[in-house]
Structures are given as C-alpha cells and as structure tokens.
Structure 1
Amino acid sequence: MTRSFSRRKAGFTLIELLVVIAIIAILIGLLLPAVQKVREAAARMQCSNNLKQMAIALHSYHDAVNKLPAARDNNNFSAHAYILPYIEQDNVYKLINFTLPYDNAANATAAATKIKTFVCPSDSASSVPAAWAQNNYRVNQGSGILWGLPSTDPSNTNYGFPTPNGPFFVNSATKITAITDGTSNTAMVSEHPVGSFNAGAFSPHNTQRLGQSVGLYPATADEAVQMCESVGYQNAQYNGMYNTGAPWIYGYHSTTVYFHVGPPNSRSCMYPGGRIGTAARSTHTNGVNLAMCDGSVRFVNNSIQLATWRGMGSMAGGEVLANQCPTQRIRPCASTRFC
C-alpha cells in the first residue's frame, strides 16, 4: 500500500513577517536615540577640547607679549586672529596684514579659511557664506552692557558707564596679574552658534535689535535681560544681526565676543548707544561649555544663579559667590565656588 505525505513549504506567514518588522522597528527606535546621545557626547567633548586649545593659545600669546590680545584692535581684528600661531595655524596668520582693516581685500583669503579649532561639531553652520569662515567660540568681555569704552563726553548717553570688567574688550591689554578674582574663577572663552545669515530667516541665535523707536535704553544688566526677553525673536522689526558668528577674523560683539549679562542660552540683544547683551549659547543640552582663565574647561548648566554667572564674567569684582555645582557637568568641579 502506498502512502502519500503532504509537505508544508518552509517560510513566514504574513502575520509572522509583520511581527518581525514590528520588532525591528522597535529596536531601531530604541537604538537611534542612543546613537544620537553618543554623537552629542562626542561633539560636546570635542567642543570642550577646542576651548581648551584656545585657552592654552591665549596663555601662550600672553607669555610671548605679556598681555592677552584685545577683543578688537584698531583695525577690528579679533583675539582669534592673534592666537593663530599657537593653534598650529601659522600659515593662515602669515596671510593677514594687520596694518590694514580686517575686511581689506588683502585679508580675504584668511577670512575665508576655516579653522577647525574655532568650529563646534554640533553646529553645522551650513548657512555661512564661503567668504566668511565660521566661529563658535567667543572671548569674555564681562558682565557690563556697554560695547567698547565709555564716553568721556558728558553729553553722550554712555558717559559715566563703567569700563568692561572682563579680560577682553576693545583695545584691551589685560595682564594675567590683573585677574584678581583668580584665574580659576574668571571666564575666558565660551560658545555661541552661528546665526541664520538670512535677513528673512529668524533664529534664536540671531542678535535682536531693540531700536530707539521702541524706547529701550537699558541702564543695567537686569534691565537689558528683561527687555531682551520681552520681545519675540520671530518679530521682523527686531531681527537685527542675523550674520552672527562669522568671520572669525572680525572682532565684534556678534562674531567673536560674548557677555555675562544674561544666563547661559538666554537671548542676545543690541540696544541704542552701543549697549549689548550677547549671551553664551550652545546647541548642547542644558548648558554651555566654558573655558576659565586658568585653562580648565567645565560645563555650566543653564540653571546657574545669575549672580554667580555674572561674577564669573568679571575679573576683578571681588564677588562672594555661592557654590553652584550643577548636576550635569563634564567632570568634577575644580573649584568649590561654582561649576
């Protein structure tokens, strides 16, 4: 007697296939955020390293000429331009003619040269024009709101304003010995992403212009912060400096300098009479990287007390500050005064 056997073909049923696809989708969904976190951590560490290299370069410059470079000299060159030889960019440094204005055609090649040390990997900066190389790191002018030096003319609206209290300002020549608050307690360099480079494109990294028609003339840092936060950055009438963060060769409050007026990742605004509040900002989560004047680098949380942050901005204010160690930082604090 002959027996017949029916054989089932091997393979997935439709339901089994859908289950497998669903499991794979779930695994991908779990994996992508983890990969993103790893990438961001790596970018933040590279950003921290860039700040470290800049702090070392600024000290090397000081060792060579017995002063820190000015935030802006008479030809509008930035501190960044002067430290090029100390970050292995001597060839670019030799392209610059410091006897001519920064934007002279003779300096165009240098202005367009991308310097890796000046670029945070978290900021793609795809909008920056090719002729203007980007910069994500800015030197500290202090906690005052006046860009430049106060006027000596009693009729000037900025008469009587204090001189900037940070290590870097217009035509400054700060010696390390002048940082009497201590180099470990005084900020040197922090971060800021580039702007939109488009007059019609709004970005929180643009600098808002609060004009005379609005009647906003802040007399103090507190007033400047309040006024800046009261306007929407997507309001066209306030979209002032949208080409912020380039070129690195230009010493300017929207390019290579920041202020300790508002807290980390707050808004940046400019007011009539040359009063400014350019904040430290980043694309990192919850805070900014900050290089101190002793060369150390730390991650400062957005929640730091404003008085502490402003105290870090001044170099000889003698502030007595509370310990402000945030829960999120790159490494343990070197100072018990703040993080």
Structure 2
Amino acid sequence: LLLPAVQQAREAARRTQCKNNLKQLGLAMHNYLDTHRVMPLCLNATSKPISVHAYLLPFLDQSPLYQQIDFNNSWNAPTNAAALGARLTVFLCPSDGSAALPTGWAGTNYRANQGSWLLYGVPSTDPSNPNYNVPASNGVFIPNASLSIADVRDGTTNTAAFSEHPLGDFNNSFSSATDTFRPGTYPNTLDEAVAQCNAIDPSNLSFQGVSNVGAPWLQSYHSTTQYFHISGPNTRSCMFPPGRISTTAKSHHTGGVHVGMCDGSVRFISNSIDIQTWRAMGSRQGNEPISDF
C-alpha cells in the first residue's frame, strides 16, 4: 500500500521541479528581453544554428559556459565541444530519467515555440518552389528574426514560449514514442498533417525519421530544441517534404505537458485540450479567440 503512495509523491516532486525549470527559462527570457529588447534568435541566416538555450545562459547563472561558446561557428564546431557536453539540470526534467546520449553530447527536455504552422524555415521567394508563399512561422522564436515583446500581439498570457519533450533513444533500429516519423506525404493544411502523421504504422521502419531527439541542447533544430503547436500534447511527431514539420510537446507526466507562457507563468495543459485552443496558444498574433485552458 505504501509503494504507490511513495511513487506518487516522488513524481509530484519531479513534476514540481520540471515546472520550476520552465519558470527559470521564462525568467531568463524576460531578463534577456530587458537587456537586448528582443527575443534570442532561433535560427540564423548563416546556417550556424545555435539554440535559444545558449543565448539564455547568462540569465541562468551560466555566464562562464556562455563565454565558451563560439557563436561564429556551428554548434558542432571543435570550438564548441565543451558546451556541447555540458549537462545542465535546468534543461532536464527529472521525470525523464537518463538517456543514452552520444559521447560528448548533453540534452534538454525543454523546447522553444516555433508556432502553429508547418513550414520549417522561411518561405521561398522562388515561384517554382513548393514553399513559395507558404505562411511563415508564427511562434515566438522564429528563423532569421528577433521579435520584441510587442510582437506578441495575442497577449503574453495567451501565448506559449516553451514546453517539454522527452529525450530520444538515439537508435534507428526500432521505433519509439519519442521519435520523429517521416510519412513521405505532402500535407497542405494542419489537419492534413495530423491525419497523415497518425495514419502511419510506426513499427514500419520505412517511416523512421529521427531518433536523435533532445540532444544536443546547443543545436537549434526541430528535433532538439524546438516544437510546434500543430498536433496536441503527447501526440506523434512527424516531418514532411518539402521542409514541413510537426514536432509536438510531450512529457512523462500523466495527462499532459507543462507550457511556459510568455508572461513567465507555467501552465499544465491537458492532453484533451481543444486543438484550436492549442494552436492559438502557439500563435503570437493570430487574434484567435482562446477559451479556458
């Protein structure tokens, strides 16, 4: 009789610590804003994708580590080896346990909100490109732009900044719930993406996409440090051609996920949240009506 109660108490403590980690990230984001007047970059035009997490380090009591990062080179440059393997508890949900990460890599359970649209990157200016005139990312941390808090026109209490995702198994020889799958289909709408993602047989390894999930935290990529508000919490993640992504928020907490809002608060969001409300939370300026969540 005692064992279930002890397990529940331990998970409650882990869940509280996870929530506190997201609060720390939210506070770091606001301190970054106070200093720089804009949000940190998510991806930059030089194709050297250093994560939002790296830019927040000075505001997480990690200035010495921040000073070791070579922002003029890629995340996997030899000059960034020390940061690449730096394990930070503020980036890790204690409910996730320990993953078998590649040597020299440290991971994160926390992701930056890219928004509630499919395109990963920026729309093409070439009319012959399938991503020509496709809507751009509408989240808080977007490619090639640093937004101000004034750009969050839907209101900071209604707009997500961060959420969570378990670390992957880093093994492409089998499929697991943390993987990002590759259906090979071409969705044009959010609902098409969700339906096509859910329709695959995950045990069929031909649909295997990415198992290297959540590491390294230094890399800005959809499978490492970003997520989207397309499919609801704790649903399957998928990647589609040409450059369309639905990486979901997930957790090992029963019933939902933590979401750090742009006002610095942290909400626990149920798996059963209305999908339109979830998508509205991911958009910074959609003017969507948001019901209680």
> What TM-score, normalized to structure 2?
0.97
Whether the 8 Å contact between 1:125 and 1:134 is mirrored in structure 2 is no
Q: State the Cα distance separating 1:31 from its structure 2 match.
A: 1.3
Q: Which whole-Å deviations, capped at 9, do the CAs of 1:56-86 have from their partners, x for residues lacking one?
A: 1011111111100122233110100100010
2:26 to 55, 61, 68: 55
Alignment of 1:306 with 2:279, yes or no, is no
Q: Within 5 A, what are the aligned runs for 1:124-135?
A: 124-135=97-108
C-alpha contact 1:210 1:272 (8 A) present in aligned 2:
no
Partner Cα distance (2:216, 2:90) in 1: 14
Q: Which amino acid aligns with 2:36?
A: V
CA distance in 1, matches of 2:2, 2:175: 33
**2-side partners of 1:239 and 1:62: how far apart?**
38
Q: CA deviation at 1:48?
A: 0.3
Mapped partners of 2:81, 2:68: distance in 1: 9
Query: Cα RMSD over matched residues?
Result: 0.9
Q: Where does residue 240 of structure 1 map in the other structure?
A: 209
Determine whether 1:70 maps to 2:41.
yes
What residue number does 1:226 align with? 195
Partner AA of 1:166 in structure 2: G
Residue 138 (str. 1) matches residue 111 (str. 2) = yes
> What does 1:76-115 correspond to in 2, within 5 Å?
76-115=49-88
Is residue 41 of structure 2 the alignment partner of residue 41 of structure 1?
no
Count residues with an aligned counterpart: 291
1:281 to 250, 272, 285: 250
Q: Deviations over 1:70-120 (max 9, x none)?
A: 222331101001000100111111110111111101101101000111000
Asked whether the equivalents of residues 196 and 202 of structure 1 are also in contact (C-alpha less than 8 Å), the reply is no
Instruction: For residues 126-166 of structure 1, give each alpha carbon's deviation from its aligned partner in whole angstroms, at most 9, with x where no partner exists.
Output: 22123110110001011001101111110001111111111
Which of the pair has the greater relative contact order for Cα pairs under 8 Å at 6+ separation?
A: 2
Does structure 1 conserve the Cα–Cα contact (< 8 Å) formed by 2:57 and 2:65? yes
Provide the rounded CA distance (Å) in 1 between the counterparts of 2:262 and 2:19.
14
- Distance in 1 of aligned mates of 2:174 and 2:18: 26
Task: Write out aligned runs for 1:150-169 (5 A).
Answer: 150-169=123-142
Cα distance in 2 for residues equivalent to 1:146 and 1:53? 29
* Aligned AA (2:215): A
Mean Cα deviation higher: 125-134 or 292-301: 125-134
2:178 corresponds to 1:209: no
TM-score by length of 1: 0.84
Q: Is the 8 A contact 2:99 2:168 kept in 1?
A: no
Q: Which has the larger radius of gyration?
A: 1
Deviation sequence 1:275-326 (CA, Å, 0-9, x none): 000000001000000100000001000000000000000010000122xxxx
Is 1:185 equivalent to 2:158 in the alignment? yes
Matched residue SS, 1:290? strand
Tell me the distance in 2 between the aligned counterparts of 1:70 and 1:144: 18
Structure 1 unaligned segments of length 5 or more: list them. 1-29, 323-337
Alignment partners' CA distance in 2, 1:171 and 1:144: 16
CA deviation after TM superposition for structure 1 residue 237, in Å? 0.8
- Return the letter of the residue paired with 1:161: V
Is residue 121 of structure 1 aligned with residue 91 of structure 2?
no
